[in-house]
Amino acid sequence: MTEKANTAQVARHPLAGKSLSGADTVVQVLADEGVDTIFGYSGGAILPIFDAVFRYNDAHPVAGKDAAMQLVVPANEQGAGFMAAGYARASGKVGVVMVTSGPGATNTVTPVRDSMADSVPLVVICGQVPTAAIGTDAFQEAPVAAIMGAIAKHVFLVTDAETLEETMRSAFELARTGRPGPVVVDVPKDIQNWEGKFRGQGTLPLHGYRRRLAKVEENHLSDGACERFYTLLSESERPLIYAGGGVINANATKAMRRLANEYGIPVTTTLMALGASDTTHPLALHMLGMHGVASANYAVEDCDFLIAVGARFDDRVAGNPGQFAPRAKNIAHFDVDFAEIGKVKRANWHHVGMLERDLTDMLAYGKRINFSKDFGAWHKEIAWLKEEFALNYDRNSEFIQPYAVIEEINRHSKGEAVISTGVGQHQMWAAQYFDFREPRLWLTSGSMGTMGFGLPAAIGAQFARPDRTVIDIDGDGSIRMNIGELETATTYNTPIKVIVLNNYGDGMVRQWQKLYFGGRMSGSDKLLHSKDFVMAARATASSSRNASTGRKTCQRSFGNSWISKGQHFSRSLLTAMPVYTPWSGPDSVTTT
């Protein structure tokens, strides 16, 4: 009995029973959840929480860090949302956004929907007008719960201050568990100013959600299910793993690679799963689908057993579901979401559970029964497909080839850099020509295809992975949408690299207009709105100064050190943005 009492005493939160304001409660829960970076923009309705962050950092200095909980202020709230998404995608942790009411909240709608579509865990904390003013069209009021309810994983409007602490903890639980996604917490100003006892524990009674989650977690692979899977594999001569973004979200990359390597099963990935399989591996087929490589698509055509892992057969992969994998006699489907099974393509073997555990258990069963099968003929066909249908371009052209730029950067990054992109042709070139040795190195807006994603996502990723080189491959149309975040990059001295492939227009849209609309470039030609991106970068860099150290940063345009010999790169087509490196001394100024 004494031991139990002691255990309970040790587990007791040090602030339990202490009176805290609602704002301090929010910040303390963030600290308890391990949040080290917040992306947000202040405003009247969120000021109490912003002030609480300041006071928390003042009371909790951390050696070697500017703050225990760094607050990153973007140019606008959409930038904050995409920074948090980049942080979450690169780290696997929950990204945190903090914005004011009304326009502050509505500016996060696109990042919230983008994160929902790509299963990215976010917690978005919105200030709201006082509870008594809700519904009166008060200054900077917006119906956040109604707006976000259709696009977020869950939305909370806190009207009972006593539930604020539990609501914040539940928001993190919902964001990171099951199929990850964004959770929005709308906190009226009077709730932030409320004073009450901090409990230090507890969550909301989300019985339905937890029951569904428990059902998935408890759904272990049975020996019978494993036996049926290996029977299908034994009957196959050309098995193929089709990996989706769920593999990365579930941190199941290693387990999937072990299963594939043990039996020599080739792997192709979706856009969202790049890095799930080491793209330099002989049996890696890189990306499939509309913008995928030909060899991967031909392999899907030829396979006789398709093993979908964390994939949803979306329209960019299986545009015509009836003709997708036409020679596959059997399809197996692993997923964490019951809704994905049979939604687009019928599978005759499926399992809904925890991917990392289930793939590990499947491999263990195979070893237990000493499963073995020679897929040598299939491996030769894969090698032939990769050689015969390798990506290529006019290497003798005197004009810039964007593929050559990416290839050269890839030669230096060796598949180990974090790559973010905007949306458009440059996005697909980057997906095709970059290598990814590990997961969480590829950050792009997949399902929503949101232009303006690349630059803020790169900034967020650099905060998440300060040890990694972070490169934003962007297009002139895409980067213009959030180009104000260049100032954020310089303000916080984030050493991101930004490459703009500038073709003076919306390249992918123009491509479709040429193919299907008689070449009429309606609204897609930006020649009348051309921008000098180098000058914009210089203006941003030259005005940036670190207030605490007096550090200046500067840049110069992209040099030829990364360019293959004999190639000509026209400034009108390629623009480089500044590269900022950590300060290395009072007299040091680093340029690229």
pLDDT at 581 over 90: no
- How many other β-carbons are positioned within 10 Å of the β-carbon of residue 194? 19
pLDDT at 436 over 90: yes
Q: Mapping DSSP to helix (H, G, I), strand (E, B) and coil, where does residue 461 land? A: helix
CA triple 175-439-316, angle to 5 deg:
80
Active site residues: 77, 139-140, 189, 508
Is CATH 3.40.50.970 the classification given to domain 15-215?
yes
CA separation for the pair 537, 230 (Å, rounded):
56
Residue 66 per-residue DSSP state: S
More confident residue, 534 or 205: 205
Assign 587 a pLDDT band (cuts: 50, 70, 90): very low
Mean pLDDT of 483-493: 94
pLDDT, one tens digit per residue, over 28-62 is 999 999 999 999 999 999 999 999 999 999 999 99
Beta-ladder partners of 99: 41, 126
Q: What is the pLDDT of residue 542?
A: 65
**Contact in structure between 65 and 31 (CB atoms under 8 Å):** no
**Contact in structure between 477 and 526 (CB atoms under 8 Å):** yes
Beta-ladder partners of 470: 418
Residue 470 per-residue DSSP state: E
More confident residue, 67 or 576: 67
Q: What is the pLDDT of residue 429?
A: 96
CA separation for the pair 138, 464 (Å, rounded):
37
pLDDT at 434 over 60: yes
Beta-ladder partners of 330: 305
pLDDT above 70 as % of the chain: 89
Lowest mean pLDDT among 1-10, 377-386, 449-458: 1-10
Q: What is the pLDDT of residue 114?
A: 98
- Of 116, 247, 235, nearest in space to 182 by CA: 116
CA separation for the pair 402, 16 (Å, rounded):
58
The pair of three-digit structure tokens given for residue 476, joined into one six-digit string: 């002139």
Q: What is the pLDDT of residue 576?
A: 39
Superfamily of domain 219-388: TPP-binding domain (3.40.50.1220)
Mean pLDDT of 479-488: 95
Assign 525 a pLDDT band (cuts: 50, 70, 90): confident
**Contact in structure between 479 and 422 (CB atoms under 8 Å):** yes
pLDDT, one tens digit per residue, over 182-226 is 999 999 999 999 999 999 999 999 999 999 999 999 999 999 999
Single-letter amino acid code for the residue at 25: T
Q: What is the pLDDT of residue 575?
A: 39
Q: What is the pLDDT of residue 586?
A: 31
pLDDT at 109 over 50: yes
Residue 505 per-residue DSSP state: B
Q: Mapping DSSP to helix (H, G, I), strand (E, B) and coil, where does residue 243 land? A: strand
- Of 312, 314, 319, 360, nearest in space to 336 by CA: 312
Mean pLDDT of 72-100: 98
Please report the beta strands in 365-516, taking only residues with DSSP state E, as ranges in sequence order.
418-421, 442-443, 470-475, 497-501
The pair of three-digit structure tokens given for residue 115, joined into one six-digit string: 């994160």
pLDDT at 423 over 80: yes
Mean pLDDT of 12-23: 96
pLDDT at 563 over 60: no
Average pLDDT, the chain: 89
- How many other β-carbons are positioned within 10 Å of the β-carbon of residue 511? 13
According to DSSP H, which parts of 221-314 are helical?
223-234, 245-249, 253-263, 294-302
Residue ranges per structural domain of the chain:
15-215, 219-388, 402-576
pLDDT at 457 over 90: yes
Q: What is the pLDDT of residue 503?
A: 86
**Contact in structure between 289 and 271 (CB atoms under 8 Å):** yes
Q: What is the pLDDT of residue 343?
A: 94
Fold: same for 15-215 and 219-388: yes
CA separation for the pair 202, 10 (Å, rounded):
16
Beta-ladder partners of 287: 269
According to DSSP H, which parts of 417-466 are helical?
425-433, 454-464
- Of 482, 466, 478, 473, nearest in space to 443 by CA: 473
In sequence order, the 6+-apart residues with CB closer than 8 A to the CB of 25 are: 164, 165, 168, 196, 198
Report the CATH fold assignment for 402-576.
Rossmann fold (3.40.50)
